[in-house]
Amino acid sequence: MKRQKWWGLALSMLLVCGVALAGCGGGGSATKVKIGEVTRSIFYAPQYVALEKGFFKEEGLDVELQTTPGGDKTMTALLSGAIDVALVGSETSIYVYQQGSEDPVINFGQLTQTDGTFLMARDGSGAFDWNNVKGKVFLGQRKGGMPQMAGEFTLNKKGIDPHGDLELIQNIDFANIASAYASGTGEFVQLFEPQASIFEKEGRGKVVASFGVESGHLPYTVFMTKQSYIDKHDATVQKFTNALYKAQQWVDANTPEDIADAIMPYFKDSDRDIVVSSVKRYKEQGSYATDPIVDDAEWNNLLDVMDQAGELKERVAPEKIVNNTFAEKAKLAK
């Protein structure tokens, strides 16, 4: 009788362990996904929320995040297979397509829907007028990158020739633009958050306009992967997009303070007030997309921006390198 009880207890324990293993290992182990983000930025808050709030884990994904500074490096990492998914500007997928790639890079989940830069004036006194930049030294962004193209698009829209009406500097690496401005280069500068808020706090200038507001909605930063990866791992891409949509909805429903607290582990050396200020600015201007869909209007605006910058060989139809199927299913599943 005692032997039967012992075997019964042992069997129960095995069943419990089996359930536990199914949930956190063995046959039910999480699927590894490597993301390469083009930079570490508060602009990408929903991504960090998806990680910190466990939305990727809920979908059975073990996500490894690495920063690969620069769109060219991020795309190289994706094309070489060093990462599975890239978080980068959609223009990079167009550049790959224009080169005639047999394995195109597909945009499947939009994260941000506006440009993320702001115009800072060293002398922010008085009312700002766009004509104030004429004849001035303007510290811009890298040629061919979305920040610079959106900046030039805005200036042209305001009747300003960025290459004729001002002295445009765009040969400084992205990582060094803020330090160049801090050292005295430029009367105007195009900056992302949190650097814009930091400089305002330090009294180095004042944010006088938003390129995100002025250039309109476009698929500015998007999760993308190779078509071959989608062909082999479509279920993983769907789970990834489901998690992204949950995070986007969470960001949309919560305050800048709550969002800042959630993402602070990714900005440990940052002042919380600066993080809150940055998130608030992006939320107020609608930079964070509330769903992963790249719509046709946004895509066409992107093409207009690239075309005006002289970086577009031909207008690429969205169905060539955009797949909204995963985003649409994510919205239905929520």
How confident is the model over 239-282, as pLDDT tens digits? 999 999 999 999 999 999 999 999 999 999 999 999 999 999 99
Residues 205, 199: Cα–Cα separation, whole Å: 6
Q: What stretches of 154-252 adopt beta strand conformation (E)? A: 167-169, 188-192, 206-210, 221-226
Assess contact for 241 and 292: CB atoms under 8 A: yes
Average pLDDT of the segment spanning 120-128: 92
**Hey, what domains does the chain have and what are their CATH numbers?**
30-113+215-331 (3.40.190.10), 116-213 (3.40.190.10)
Residues 303, 309: Cα–Cα separation, whole Å: 10
| pLDDT in the model for residue 15 | 36
Instruction: Provide the residue type at 120 as one letter.
Output: M
User: pLDDT tier at 124 (50, 70, 90 boundaries)?
Assistant: confident
pTM over 0.85: yes
Can you give the length of the chain in residues? Answer: 334
Residues 220, 222: Cα–Cα separation, whole Å: 7
